[in-house]
Amino acid sequence: MSILKEIALNLETGDSSTVKELCRQALSLSIPADVILNQGLIKGMEVVGFKFKKNEIFIPEVLIAARAMKAGLEILKPHLSKKKKKMRRKILMGTVKGDLHDIGKKIVGMMLEREGYEIIDIGIDVTKEKFLKAIKKEKPEVVGMSALLTTTMTYMKEVIETIKKAKLREEVKIIIGGAPVTQSFADEIKADGYGLDAVAAIDLVKNLFL
């Protein structure tokens, strides 16, 4: 078994200490941090997200896996490559009201930043009023909303309606993501796009402006 598969498997089970140690070992083997992130940590979280959607695991298991991913990221972050690009577009990101989870959002934001986008992260438990205030202040071209809970993802629709009432809907593209979120839900609330994972989010943002 390759060390990258070991990282993914231990992340799935939420073994933070083993994930950290395996990330250190992978770096010592001269495996690029970007590869460890994409083929180890993110691969593991993809499986976690898939199992969550199929009701094979539940929120506690997702959070334990997320902590393991955060532990791995702490090891990798100093080694991740930063692309020398002129900042192209500004993206505002937040986890919606009632939801305190942000590991997925942070991963997406970090990867988009490495692609050259300017990321404005307004945090967790973000109300529609805070989203609106930030949009007016920052003037982003993209607004990204995240939710881990089925009970909080419905708030995304309220945020979109608030942006629309403020006559700013035509000014921004709105994308959504998170474990319980689906493409059909994105269509239902009239978001501009949905990303299954961090890699898909990068392609999604690029395709918004083709």
Q: Residues 103, 61: one domain? A: no
pLDDT at 128: 98
The answer, yes or no, to whether residue 86 has pLDDT greater than 80, is: no
Examine residue 144 and state whether it is found in any structural domain, yes or no: yes
Last residue of a domain, one of 32, 59, 79: 79
Angular region, 167: left φ>0, alpha ψ -120 to 50, beta rest = left
Examine residue 100 and state whether it is found in any structural domain, yes or no: yes
Last residue of a domain, one of 50, 79, 108: 79
The answer, yes or no, to whether residue 102 has pLDDT greater than 90, is: no
Reported as a pLDDT band with limits 50, 70 and 90, residue 52 is confident
Per-residue buried b or exposed e for 88-99, using 16+ beta carbons within 10 Å of the residue's own CB: ebebbbbbbbbb
Q: Residues 24, 101: one domain? A: no
Examine residue 103 and state whether it is found in any structural domain, yes or no: yes
Examine residue 85 and state whether it is found in any structural domain, yes or no: no
Total number of domains constituting the chain: 2
Alpha helices in the chain (DSSP H): 3-12, 16-28, 33-36, 42-53, 59-76, 103-114, 128-138, 150-153, 155-165, 183-188, 198-208
CATH number for the domain including 131?
3.40.50.280
Residue 64 lies in domain: 3-79
Q: Residues 100, 190: one domain? A: yes
- Against a cut of 0.95, is the pTM above it? no
Residue 72 phi, psi dihedral angles, 5° rounding: -65, -40
pLDDT at 94: 98
Q: Residues 15, 61: one domain? A: yes
The predicted model gives 15-28 an average pLDDT of 97
Q: Residues 104, 180: one domain? A: yes
Record the tokens describing residue 165, joined without a space.
């009432």
Closest CA to 94 of 48, 136, 46, 156: 156
